[in-house]
């Protein structure tokens, strides 16, 4: 039984879809995109899900509109939300989908104040995984 790991996925992270490899509790509606990677566009913490660029694309059908600003009907491809447990962070150093740990790093600020930063660490290669803003 896999342990529950608190997801630390943030916006702009590169993630991989791992649907189906988990506990089976997660509805795997992402099977078609399994193994694919993309950049996180948006994280919805409240609902534990995220949108990933180019993954789990859905078509939204548009109605014909009289508004000249929005001509035509047709369909538009958009990203749909993916449950966070179906996503795994890709380590920028070893290029593997990995679980992350956290390393505490104390930084001395000017004035002698010590600030502790939580830095995500790849459990495979031990490298830091920086948050990209
Ligand atoms: Zn790594």
Q: How far lies 100's CA from each of 1, 26, 65, 67, 96, in Å? A: 18, 20, 47, 48, 11
Q: Enter the pTM of the model.
A: 0.75
Return d(Cα 13, Cα 119) in angstroms, integer. 14
Tell me, in angstroms, the distance from the centre of ligand 1 to residue 67's CA.
50
Quick one: pLDDT at residue 25? 43
Tell me, in angstroms, the distance from the centre of ligand 1 to residue 128's CA.
8
User: Which domains does the chain carry?
Assistant: 14-129 (2.30.30)
pLDDT along the chain (133 residues), means of 10: 59 87 48 88 94 90 70 80 92 94 89 89 94 79
Quick one: pLDDT at residue 32? 75
Tell me, in angstroms, the distance from the centre of ligand 1 to residue 120's CA.
11
Tell me, in angstroms, the distance from the centre of ligand 1 to residue 94's CA.
4
Structure tokens at 84: 């966070």
Structure tokens at 25: 């509790």
Quick one: pLDDT at residue 30? 63
Q: Can you give the length of the chain in residues? A: 133
């Amino acid at each position: 039984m896999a342990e529950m790991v608190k997801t630390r996925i943030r916006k702009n992270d590169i993630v991989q879809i791992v649907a189906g490899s988990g506990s089976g509790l997660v509805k795997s509606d992402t099977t078609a995109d399994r193994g694919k990677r993309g950049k996180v566009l948006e994280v919805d913490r409240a609902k534990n899900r995220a949108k990933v660029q180019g993954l789990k694309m859905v078509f939204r059908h548009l109605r014909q509109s009289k508004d000249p600003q929005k001509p035509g009907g047709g369909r538009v491809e958009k990203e749909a939300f993916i449950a966070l447990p179906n996503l795994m962070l890709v380590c920028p150093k070893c290029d593997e989908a990995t679980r992350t740990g956290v390393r505490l790093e104390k930084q001395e600020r000017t004035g002698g104040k010590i600030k502790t930063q939580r830095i995500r660490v790849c459990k495979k290669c031990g490298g830091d995984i920086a948050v990209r803003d």
